[in-house]
Amino acid sequence: MFRKNLKKDPELFQNVSEGLRRLYRTKLFPLEDTYRFHDFHSPALEDADFDNKPMVLLVGQYSTGKTTFIRHLMEQDFPGMRIGPEPTTDSFIAVMHGEQEGVIPGNALVVDPKKPFRKLNAFGNAFLNRFMCAQLPNPVLESISIIDTPGILSGEKQRISRGYDFAAVLEWFAERVDRIILLFDAHKLDISDEFSEVIRALKNHEDKMRVVLNKADQISTQQLMRVYGALMWSLGKIINTPEVVRVYIGSFWAQPLLVPDNRKLFEAEEQDLFMDIQSLPRNAALRKLNDLIKRARLAKVHAYIISSLKKEMPSVFGKDTKKKELIASLGEIYHKLEKEHQISPGDFPSVTKMQELLNGQDFTKFASLKPKLLEAVEDMLANDIARLMALVRQEEATMPSQSVKGGAFEGTMSGPFGHGYGEGASEGIDELEWVVGRDKPTYDEIFYTLSPINGKVSGAAAKKEMLKSKLPNTVLGKIWKLADVDKDGLLDDEEFALANHLIKVKLEGHELPSSLPDHLIPPSKRGTVLQA
């Protein structure tokens, strides 16, 4: 009865979170449960997974500045925080908003239905003793939560001594977070075996991955270029995709720069990274929708694999032999299913991983193919998701602009230390004199060689001069539009000087404003433009 209503009534979902939760429970979960999806891939989703704030996961080797990066973002210490050159953070710390400052230990955290960590229980006590939640009132944490992770060390000994599967825990978090930030130290760039394994474990989440080359102020420009090149080469080998991961270069803490040569680069990179993090609350619903689609596609493929293995099993004798045979020929089964059901090869889980997991399973207890369960998921992907997509857009339009506020994000917003203040088109913003006036005598000399009539040059004459900049017509067209303040199709000496000033701004690598800022309006036009 419920499913019929779900199809007919597009108003059934009040919001995206509730819609996702209901679709998962009624359409996707039955398929997952029938084919033991949770034993192979990922635990079942809970209500908290649909309601939680966007999360940022920080991963890196020890002493790359993960904890300092969090402190820099929040501009506040958090409970359980330890910083030092040696491996200090030996726990997973979920830094979340709370009215009062305090720490919740892992065992208590995984039984709290309001927190999205209940399924971490499966990793056992060795992990839970190394997991905690640091709560504190902080404006940054009102919009996002941040997960600090233990520093990754090199060597087999370190991996064994953890007592839990570190890469598997990170993969669990990677599925649920909105952004994964990999931190590297520019001063001692080294990718250990364990770090390589971790990056490979995050392979299916490249869309969430960003790379930060931290402590870049400790080396010269020449060294930085070499380190950046080495990092890109190493990442290319590990991630093994043709796309290049976005790398942000900088020094993410509140201390003076040791080598200030690249200050402008660091400021621009920090601004870009902050904008990326600030966009997370706005895109959170879309990310959850995207993750549910990914999960549904995998669950469908998984159902085909399991039912196919069940179908091949003999009813009485030779079960063990047949099981070994099927596991060995899993690659061929994938190929057969790919052709039979028109499935993309990229939707299949890793053959090796699947073979390992299948070894411990009883194939006779697998479920055979149930078309109705698959049809429900198909219907969800074809119809319900499209409806939810429209609801995402609606929610985005009605909600106020959501972004992360407070902490380090406030320092880059406005005032003379805001990014790009006093540069490019903003140059002269707080000066009394018209900034274009400085170079106007030079521009006037050119202006009078163009034979102005009644103090103005024609568009054709101005075009000839402006083309000497070699800028594309689209850019010069925009400059003309901004410079022709009185919109008469001609330029007087002030407008011509303004056009040349904007050409200089563009040639210096800055963006043009969408409309002419007040401080660039020629003095003789200020009254008329403001009245208009």
Both 228 and 155 in one domain: the answer is yes
Looking at residue 3, what is its pLDDT?
43
Q: Give the mean model confidence (pLDDT) for residues 362-385.
A: 89
User: Structure pTM?
Assistant: 0.75
Alpha helices, DSSP H only, in 450-492? 459-466, 473-483
Q: In this structure, is residue 4 part of a structural domain?
A: no
Share of the chain above pLDDT 90, in %: 33
CB 210 within 8 A of CB 179: yes
Looking at residue 187, what is its pLDDT?
81
What does the alpha-carbon distance between residue 141 and residue 467 come to, in Å, rounded to a whole number?
Answer: 51
* Number of structural domains found in the chain: 3
Q: In this structure, is residue 39 part of a structural domain?
A: yes
Enclosing domain of residue 203: 55-279
Q: Give 155's pLDDT tier (boundaries 50, 70, 90).
A: low
For the cut 80, the answer to whether the pLDDT of residue 136 exceeds it is yes
Higher pLDDT, 531 or 521: 521
Looking at residue 89, what is its pLDDT?
54
Looking at residue 157, what is its pLDDT?
45
Q: Give the mean model confidence (pLDDT) for residues 207-212.
A: 89
Nearest of 267, 261, 252 to residue 223 by alpha carbon: 261
Both 89 and 181 in one domain: the answer is yes
Looking at residue 479, what is its pLDDT?
93
Looking at residue 9, what is its pLDDT?
47
Return the minimum-mean-pLDDT range out of 21-25, 47-51, 146-150, 157-161: 157-161
For the cut 60, the answer to whether the pLDDT of residue 2 exceeds it is no
Looking at residue 493, what is its pLDDT?
93
- Alpha-carbon separation of residue 390 from 13, 80, 246, 299 (angstroms): 11, 42, 29, 24
List % helix, strand, coil for the chain (3-state, nearest 5): 60, 10, 35
Tell me, what CATH number does 315's domain have? Answer: 1.10.268.20
Looking at residue 472, what is its pLDDT?
92
- Alpha-carbon separation of residue 481 from 100, 307, 450, 512 (angstroms): 55, 65, 20, 11
Both 323 and 462 in one domain: the answer is no
Q: In this structure, is residue 1 part of a structural domain?
A: no
Looking at residue 135, what is its pLDDT?
93
Question: Which of 363, 398, 433 lies at the terminal end of a domain, its last residue?
Answer: 398
Span 409-431, pLDDT tens digits: 776 555 555 656 667 777 878 78
Residues 326-350 as b/e (b if ≥16 CB within 10 A, e otherwise) read bbeebeebbeebbeeeebeeeebbe
Both 374 and 324 in one domain: the answer is yes
Looking at residue 490, what is its pLDDT?
92
Both 369 and 450 in one domain: the answer is no
Both 274 and 302 in one domain: the answer is no
Both 208 and 247 in one domain: the answer is yes
Span 61-71, pLDDT tens digits: 887 888 889 98
For the cut 60, the answer to whether the pLDDT of residue 87 exceeds it is no
Both 41 and 64 in one domain: the answer is no
Higher pLDDT, 43 or 423: 43
Both 130 and 253 in one domain: the answer is yes
Looking at residue 530, what is its pLDDT?
43
What the block records as the tokens of 6 is 């779900």
Q: Give the mean model confidence (pLDDT) for residues 332-343.
A: 90
Looking at residue 88, what is its pLDDT?
53
Both 234 and 106 in one domain: the answer is yes
Taking all residues of the chain, what is their mean pLDDT, rounded to a whole number?
Answer: 84
Q: Give the mean model confidence (pLDDT) for residues 113-127.
A: 89
